[in-house]
Amino acid sequence: MRLAEFQDLMRRTYLERDRRRGRDGTFRRLVEEVGELARTLRHEDPGGRHEEFSDVLAWLASLANQAEVDLETAASRYAEGCPKCGAIPCRCAFGP
């Protein structure tokens, strides 16, 4: 499934409910899912990782829909490599 198709599916499936929840509530749900993903990564849970990555992606798409952000356009910022240095692989220095 392409990213635009996925975002459209999330729009058709959840947009009205997400609007009632609001951006702040949707953002909090996204953060909660990121926390659940972190737990699966720490505990080496391959099955859980797949589910949590999909949940994070779904909540991100829902938030993008409310904010009227096209995720494919947003992702295209990385189409030529690192948006800061322009290289593939990135050649930016690591921070402290």
Q: Which two tokens stand for residue 18?
A: 């997400």
Q: What are the DSSP calls for 2-70, one per residue?
A: -HHHHHHHHHHHHHHHHHHHHHHHHHHHHHHHHHHHHHHHHTT-HHHHHHHHHHHHHHHHHHHHHTT--
31-76 residue pLDDT tens: 999 999 999 999 988 888 999 999 999 999 999 999 999 999 999 9
Q: 45: how many CB neighbours lie within 10 A of its CB?
A: 13
Which tokens in the block code for residue 20? 């009632």
Assigned CATH for 3-78: 1.10.287.1080
pTM (2 decimals)? Answer: 0.90
**Measured on CA atoms in the order 7, 12, 53, 30, is the torsion positive or negative?**
positive
Segments making up each domain of the chain, as ranges:
3-78
Whether 86 shows a pLDDT value over 70: the answer reads yes
The CA-based diameter of the chain, rounded to the nearest angstrom, is: 43
- Per-residue confidence (pLDDT) for residue 46, from 0 to 100: 81
